[in-house]
Structure 1
Amino acid sequence: MTTLKERHEINPKDQWDLTTIFESDDQFWDQFEVVKSNINKAEQFKTKLNSSSETLYEAITTLENDSQQLSKLYVYAHLLHDQDTSNSTYSAMENKVQSLAVQFSAAWSYFTAELLSIDESRMKEMIESHEGLKSFEFNLINILKDKPYTLSTNEEKILALASEPLSTAEETFSMFSNADIQFDDAIDQAGERHIVTQGSYSKLMESSDRVLRKNTYNSMYKAYGQYNHTLQSTLSGVVDKHIFSARVRGYDSSRHQALHQNRIDEVVYDQLIDAVNEHLPLLHRYTALRKELLQLDEMHMYDMYTPLVKDIDFKVTYEEAKEWLIKGLKPMGEDYLDIIKEGLSNGWVDVYENKGKRSGAYSSGSYLTNPFILMNWQDNVNNLFTLAHEFGHSAHSYLSRKHQPSHMSDYSIFVAEVASTCNEALLAHTMHQELTDPMKKLYLLNHELEGFKGTVFRQTMFAEFEHLIHQMKEEGTPLTADALNELYGNLNKKYYGDAVVTDENISKEWSRIPHFYYNFYVYQYATGYSAAIALSEQILSEGQPVVDRYVKEMLSAGSSEEPLTVLKNAGVDMTSKEPIVKACKVFEQKLDEFEKLIKSL
């Protein structure tokens, strides 16, 4: 059994370099006190934003500058905490920064509401008369788009006070699902017991042991099934909350409110569902192939996650991964590769697992820092693609911060997964060209097909379910447990086809999905993935002109334009079906390759 290293045993060259943020903890605490003392500056601008252009400009720049410093503090503290969560010094540091952030937010809480009280013509007059305000024009006018849905000061205060009790449904679900629910152990074909948790479920479902998969699946849905009516109540409660908010503010629907807040046209949502539904025969073909390759008389949902290509020796060390990354992203050109090389060699990446290190992977950073990537490296293909994915986020952040002022440097969540997924697609293309081992090619194709299935087909199914349950409630149809089970079961059958048995268990899957409490969030996984595939295809077929456009119009754009405009300028119109259709065509090509290759072996 391999023992994890302590943090101090990890080679410094494999750790991120946080001295680029603060040279020492003492320097951090000095800056902490400066930011803390600056919080009271907020009070001097309260009720005065409309008094003059100069006052508005001073308020905005004060808020922006102090926000930057606060973000810098937070990045330093949370990275130190995540590299060793058992270190109480850094846990306390992170907690103090979070507390400071709460104080900062409270001090400036009046800001947006007061901006919204300014008449649009007055706002334009103030902007026109002050050169400094002109750089904030897009943001200020954008904020005013929420004015028709903003209530009086007293009404807004009531809604703010109501936000905590209105959050009971999702909080109840979260506590139940993460803390209270217990699962039976799953027995494998040898009679061995395996502990089933939220964390272990996915890994167990990938097992080649079908007995273990079935028992894990039954354990999960037995537990959730016992609380079918309780979880119907929590989900119905959060839908009620969304509908209440939309009606009080005057939106057409709960979906209209959720998408308007991100400046997304509802047609994007509808086009996604329509286009994916038109291409469901491709998913049916893939599930039928899975059933055939697994040699099953009857295939259940617990058979959907075990790899079709197994026992492949496809080891990828971190040093090999770096080489693959540079080769894979070559189509992006030298300027982009220079960013990747800088990150790989100048302390952006914390590579290996150590005792106490936070699990998973992410890209972090702020306007005043370089990007940072957390990994827990294992020598496999999945980690290689994770590294490419996180470098997509990091390069996107790096370029947006380099080319945009702070207030325009954060990109919309709608485009957040595009750069990361585009990197993965370009890497996969290069690997297909260079790999000679047919089994490794099969493994890679299986990886891509599963990624598309899970991100485009499955997340679109989630999005369709979420839209339908909100529509039902808005039309006065109660969301009973039976109604939710029937709706979800029918959608599962429609999406996965006749090759898969839709049983009573899978009809209750809705009851364990936390994303249904996120308010029309999941569709963005599918749209982002589709946009990335469409862009990667353009890059590979048309070359540098597309790269230049993509880097300038999207990766460097931040939030200087609406998210749909940013993508359209980069070459993808998400208000049309075309990007979704193109992405589905790529899935079809991969499926053709997979079938042809597996039949040749």
Structure 2
Amino acid sequence: MEKEKALPTRQQVPDQFKWKLEDIYRSDGDWEKDYQEAPKLVEQLSGLKGKLQEKALNLFKALQLQDQIGQIMEKLFTYARMRRDEDNTNATYQALTDRAVALNTQIASATSFLTPEILAIPEEVLKRFQQEEQGLNVYRFFLDDLKRQKAHVLSEGEEIILAQAGEISQAPGQIFTMLNNADLTFPTIKDEEGKEIEITHGRFSRLMESRDRRVRKDTFHGLYSSYKKLENTLASTLNSVVKRDIFFARVRKFPSALEGSLFGDNVPVQVYDNLIRTVRAQNSAMHRYVRLRKKLLDLDQLHMYDIYAPMVRDVEWKVPYADSVEMVKKALAPLGADYERVLADGFQQGWIDVYENKGKTSGAYSWGPFGTHPYVLLNYQDQLNDVFTLAHEMGHAMHSYYSHKEQPYIYSQYTIFVAEVASTVNETLLTNYLLDKEQDRAKRMYLINHYLEQFRGTVFRQTMFAEFEKAIHGKIEAGEALTLQALKEIYHKLNVDYYGPDMIVDEDIDIEWARIPHFYNNFYVYKYATGFSAATALVQKIQSEGQPAVDRYLTFLKSGGSDYPLELLKKAGVDMTSPQPIEQALTVFNKLLDEMETLTAG
């Protein structure tokens, strides 16, 4: 067997494949200057404490200083952390990252007076301030949003108590994290070659994608056997986090935990309910997909441990990085000349860190501070999946580029609700581009399988998670007990409903909720499904309407956080208060499923 090639050191990677963090700070010395400057700005801001009601200029100065401090802290942290991500064994950047985190904590404490003090300004005074000081115009949406929150802000003393309870409220999530990542141990199984291999979180996905069904089955039952040993404890931690969510919602005068969670993005409950209702109404599409999976895997019975196995076999699709760049550029050409120009600059001007090296952070992400271009970390392996990852992360990067370019700092960050829209638009355009030019039957099936799996995991699965969250919170809000047995029964029934009659819903899946960290961040997962649906609808508009739809989409990318996410999407041409975008996305899923069934029959 050929010996695996050793990973290069950071120094051995050619510069053309490295990002240029010098565009943030030319040297560590420049980083140090900003590190020393930030506390001085905090001191200036602290000098305005208790004086914001006195005159408009004081409020304007305070908001400006908050922005300046935020920009510097963003630069300090991103530079230190991304330098560390280049090689996590580098002690210099471990130290810089730790210093940035510590400084940020100090600053958060020193500036915590700002929001309560602004909220204490009488509304008529605030209106007068905005008329007197033109500089406050840029902060109008920020101040209006603060005013919207006022009904749910308590007295100063009560807010102090809630803040002090904040650390305690994190306990369920912290306990789960320690159990899941430190204390839980998983059994050893035999891999495809009969060698002993211990199941780990990192290996689980790869083992579940094995073509050897015995490996998948042993992995599945092995993993959940460990969770079952702690099922009462894990039920208790989940129960605690649900009660926490309900407690904070009630204290802040929200009718339910769901409404309290959606309030930050100004999203009505109907958006959440529309998602569940619309996906459920078309669960027959998911059932068809399961039936097709069963046929392609040539199985008499399809079990939960078969859901990740590749449906299309024997397709080796190698794509060198240079080819992937050209592929992505051509796929995204429908987004217009300006988008193409900026994208080309990104590929050529040090935005991307391409290849794996010793000590480099795994996975992929897009990041970067306001005032510089965005950055993308990859660990490119010449696989087709890596091309999709490149398109995905450049979607985030382009969204950040346009938001940073067009918006002032305070609105330069887009919310999580819309964060996956641009990345999914890019992936969908890449899928369409490749399908338009690919005639090989096996490769077409491979591409369609890739999209169907993305859809299953992002729309159907995350919607099922969202429905589970709503059910368990609703049970406690109705005064009922959320027992281990109740959790299992709710989760089992959802799997039966979503996967349909061709899936054997193994008993072990009833405990899957016990390993999902997202459930400790309440009502979060639905955003994956709504974002994917919005992106699918946007691509359809871009392809059918052309330039008008492109213009609306680019306006959306340039808007950052200057409005509520639903309003930004409406301007792009997608109304997420309506079920229509989800229905459009499901239509695309059904169409590709039709072709996959035809190719299978052929």
- TM-score with structure 2 setting the length: 0.98
The question of whether the paired residues in 1 share the 8 Å contact of 2:56 and 2:130 is answered with yes
Pick one of 219, 225, 228 that aligns with 1:222.
225
Q: How far 1:191 moved relative to its partner?
A: 2.9
CA offsets 1:435-477 (integer angstroms, 9 cap, x no match):
2222111101000000000000000000000011000010011
Runs of 5+ unmatched residues, structure 1? none
Aligned mates of 2:596, 2:265 — CA distance in 1: 38
- Of residues 4, 11, 15, the one that matches 2:14 is 11
Q: CA deviation at 1:428?
A: 0.8
AA matched with 1:564: L
Q: Distance in 2 between matches of 1:189 and 1:325?
A: 35
Say which of 309, 321, 324 aligns to 1:321: 324
* C-alpha distance in 2 between matches for 1:85 and 1:311: 36
Deviation at 1:311, TM superposition (A): 2.0
Q: How far apart, in 2, do the equivalents of 1:289 and 1:173 lie?
A: 36
1:599 is displaced (CA, Å) by 1.7
The equivalent of 1:172 in structure 2 is 175
Could you tell me how far apart the structure 1 residues matched to 2:37 and 2:332 are? 42
Residue 549 of structure 1 corresponds to 552
Distance 1:142 1:213 in 2: 49
Structure 2 letter corresponding to 1:568: K
Which residue does 1:567 correspond to in 2? 569
Q: Which string of whole-angstrom CA distances, capped at 9 and with x for unpartnered residues, describes residues 233-291 of structure 1?
A: 00000001000001111101101110001211111000000000011000000101111
Which of 586, 590, 599 is equivalent to 1:597?
A: 599
State whether structure 2 residue 539 is matched by structure 1 residue 536. yes
Q: What secondary structure, in the 3-state scheme, does the structure 2 residue paired with 1:363 have?
A: strand
Structure 2 residue 505 is the aligned partner of structure 1 residue 511: no
**What is the deviation of 1:189?**
5.5
Q: What are the Cα deviations for residues 44-94 of structure 1, in whole angstroms up to 9, with x where unaligned? A: 111111111000001000111121111111111111000100101111011
Partner of 2:340, secondary structure, is helix
Give the residue type in structure 2 aligned to 1:578: Q
* Greater Cα offset, 117-126 or 569-578: 117-126
SS in 2 for 1:440: helix
Q: Counterpart of 1:384 in 2: which secondary structure?
A: helix
Partners in 2 of 1:388 and 1:241 — Cα distance?
39
SS state at 1:436 partner: coil
Post-superposition shift, 1:595? 1.1
Match of 2:483 in 1: 480
Identify which of 461, 468, 471 aligns with 2:471. Answer: 468
Of 197, 205, 227, the residue aligned with 2:200 is 197
Task: Give, as a single letter, the amino acid of the residue that structure 1 aligns with 2:110.
Answer: A
Distance 2:128 2:228 in 1: 60
**Amino acid paired to 1:558:** G
Structure-2 separation of matches of 1:413 and 1:391: 17
| Deviations 1:536-593 (CA, angstroms, capped at 9, x unpaired) | 01111111110011101x1001111111000001000000000000000000011011
- Give SS of 1:416's match: helix
Q: Indicate if the aligned counterparts of 1:445 and 1:594 stay in contact, CA closer than 8 A.
A: yes
Identity %: 45
Q: Which moved more, 1:113-122 or 1:570-579?
A: 113-122
The answer for the alignment partner of 2:442 in structure 1 is 439
Decide whether the 8 Å contact of 1:187 with 1:211 is kept in 2.
no
Q: How does 1:80-95 map to 2 (within 5 A)?
A: 80-95=83-98
Partner of 1:29: 32
Alignment of 1:315-354 (within 5 A): 315-354=318-357
Q: Distance in 1 between matches of 2:117 and 2:234?
A: 39
Distance in structure 2 (CA, Å) of the matches to 1:578 and 1:364: 32
* Alignment counterpart, residue 579 of structure 2, candidates 566, 577, 593: 577
Between Structure 1 and Structure 2, how many residues are aligned? 599
Distance 1:188 1:66 in 2: 52
2:408, 2:91 → 1: CA distance?
Answer: 36
Do residues 49 (structure 1) and 52 (structure 2) align? yes
CA RMSD of superposed structures (Å): 0.9
Separation in 2 of the partners of 1:38 and 1:131? Answer: 23
Question: Is 2:163 the counterpart of 1:163?
Answer: no
Secondary structure of the structure 2 residue equivalent to 1:136? helix
Deviation, structure 1 residue 397: 0.6
The residue type equivalent to 1:417 in the other structure is E
Cα deviations by residue, 1:121-158 (Å, 9 ceiling, x for unpaired): 22122112210011111110111111111110000001
After TM superposition, give the deviation of residue 190 of structure 1 in Å: 4.6
What does residue range 234-273 of structure 1 map to in structure 2 within 5 Å?
234-273=237-276
> Could you say what secondary structure the match of 1:516 adopts?
helix
* Residue pairs, 1:340-379, within 5 angstroms: 340-379=343-382
Secondary structure of 1:316's counterpart equals coil
40, 45, 66: which one aligns with 2:43:
40
Classify the secondary structure of the residue corresponding to 1:314: coil
**Residues 19-59 of structure 1: CA distance to partner in whole angstroms, max 9, x if unpaired?**
11111111111221112333222211111111110000010
Residue equivalent to 2:133 = 130
Three-state SS of the structure 1 residue aligned to 2:366 is: strand
From the superposition, tell whether residues 223 and 531 of structure 1 become closer, same or farther in structure 2 (CA, over 3 Å).
same
Contact residue 296 and residue 312 of structure 2 kept, 8 A: no
With normalisation by structure 1, the TM-score equals: 0.99
Counterpart for residue 558 of structure 1: 560
Q: Which whole-Å CA distance do the structure 1 matches of 2:260 and 2:127 have between them?
A: 26
Partner residue in 2 for 1:491: 494
Q: Which region of structure 1 is more displaced relative to structure 2, 69-78 or 228-237?
A: 69-78
Supply the distance in 2 between the matched residues of 1:389 and 1:167 (Cα, whole angstroms): 32
- Residues 296 and 600 of structure 2 are in contact (CA less than 8 Å); yes or no, is this contact kept in structure 1? no
Q: Distance in 2 between matches of 1:186 and 1:581?
A: 42
Q: Distance in 1 between matches of 2:83 and 2:205?
A: 29
Write the distance in 2 (CA, Å) between the matches of 1:455 and 1:166: 29
1:307 alignment partner in structure 2: 310
Q: How many Å separate the matches in 2 of 1:462 and 1:159?
A: 28
SS of the residue 1:146 aligns to:
helix
State whether structure 2 residue 442 is matched by structure 1 residue 410.
no
Contact 1:72/1:369 (8 A) holds in 2 = no
Q: Write the distance in 1 (CA, Å) between the matches of 2:257 and 2:329.
A: 44
| 1:591 alignment partner AA | L
Q: Is the 8 A contact 2:18 2:352 kept in 1?
A: yes
| 5+ long unaligned stretches in structure 2 | none
Matched letter for residue 580 of structure 2 = E
Displacement, 1:409?
1.1
Check the 8 A contact 2:396/2:423 in 1, yes or no.
yes
Equivalent in the alignment of 1:65:
68
**Partner residue of 2:215?**
212
Q: Which amino acid aligns with 2:159?
A: E
How far apart, CA to CA, are the structure 2 residues paired with 1:562 and 1:374? Answer: 29
Task: Report if the CA contact (8 A) 2:41-2:65 is conserved.
Answer: no
Once the 2 structures are TM-superposed, how far is the Cα of residue 368 of structure 1 from its aligned partner? 1.5
Instruction: Report the residue type matching 2:584 in the other structure.
Output: K
Aligned pairs (5 A) from 1:385-396: 385-396=388-399
